[in-house]
Amino acid sequence: MMEQDRPPDWFSKPGDTVRVLIQRRGVDVHELASSLDGGLQSLRGILAGTYAIEDKSASVLAAHLGGTKRFWLQRQTNYELALERAVQSALLEDTAEWLARVPSPEPKRRGPLSDVRRAIEVRQRLTYFSVGTLDAWDVRYGNLHNTARYRTTKTFETNNSAVLLWLRRAELEADLLPTRSWNPDELRKRLGLIRSLTRHREPKVFFPRLRALCAEAGVAVVGLPAPTGCRASGASRMIAPDKAMIILSFRYRADDQFWFTVFHEIGHLLLHTGRSFVDDGSVDSSDACEEEANRFASSQIITDAEVLDLTRTPLAWKSIVRFSSSAKLSPGLVLGQLQHRGIVDHRRFNFLKRHWTNEDVMDAIINL
């Protein structure tokens, strides 16, 4: 029965079964991880396929997820055999061009590759991206520059590897986040509650609540700083037919930018489901989908009617604070919208915006 839970992919790794059972049985990932040597790091490795299931971890999985120790050990053996067949099959093709395009999760080695090293490099990439063939990687990731929308094409072309590694790392983190099945109607119902979270000052307070609200609608919210070379502030992507993902990098570490990105990515999921988007935080775009997501985000923060009421008298910072309090919004978020709409000069009242340190952000996102 457990084998039937696996996705219909002969290359499926043991972590795929672990992920499905965590989701279906509502297993607490912290409880499961605490029983493994290495904790969350080991659980991440099992899900990613980089940590081999051995005697002790097989017993832990059997105790928490079901099945027998023998089942999990055999599952690992079957995967290793399948992976080796996949590597040997891939080596029959021209891997040089593929290896040049596919980013490595490990630091790249310079110079020509020996046959042994080439096999290692291919194995690392197939494992990390969880694909069984070179073509399968192209289908799932290689065509992102055609299927995903980027705020700036230049950003994608220049930082392709960094963006892809960021997206894949986020997918692996999303595996640890149990969610209900993707339901856009449920996400819409929670927009008001998400809006009210903007009042909270500290990321460690609002971020877990944001994650919980979105999980109820089938959306895994991943906080993941962008690596060097990746300028993304947020991204949205369907990672399974029943699971969506939003990635937030906290790039600007300011409440107006952060919350606008949250609603922008929600807008993509509700308006453009099935497509992938990587956004750099800009609000000016000639792309129709980006403009729609921008309008959606703005409308969730402050409506045109509210702006009209707010601007009937000359604006002062105190009036922005009063409005924000009555609307249950962050003053900085309201100010950011007024600045974007050209109502308030970008140099005025910026003390209303909340800025966070890197430590503030990491305290909020470091634990699931």
Q: Which residues contact 349 (CB under 8 A, 6 or more apart)?
A: 317, 320, 335
pLDDT at residue number 279? 82
Domain boundaries of the chain, sorted by first residue: 3-142, 149-303+356-365
Kindly report the length of the chain. Answer: 368
Could you read off the pLDDT of 143-189 as tens digits, one per residue? 665 555 554 444 444 467 888 999 999 999 998 898 999 999 999 99
Structure confidence at residue 190 (pLDDT): 97
What is the rounded distance in angstroms from the CA atom of residue 311 to the CA atom of residue 306? 9
Q: Which residues of the chain have pLDDT under 50?
A: 1-9, 151-158
CB 295 within 8 A of CB 352: no
The amino acid at residue 109 is R
What one-character-per-residue DSSP string does 298-365 give? Answer: HHHH--HHHHHHHTSS---HHHHHHHHHHHT--HHHHHHHHHHTTSS-TTSSGGGS-B--HHHHHHHH
Interval 229-271: pLDDT, tens = 888 899 999 998 899 999 999 999 999 999 999 999 999 999 9
Output the pTM of the full model.
Answer: 0.86
* Interior angle at CA 200, CA 265 and CA 280, nearest 5: 30
CB-based contacts of 200: which residues, under 8 Å, 6+ apart? 206, 209
Q: What's domain 3-142's superfamily in CATH?
A: lambda repressor-like DNA-binding domains (1.10.260.40)
pLDDT of residue 315: 85
Task: Give the span between the Cα atoms of 44 and 29, in whole angstroms.
Answer: 10
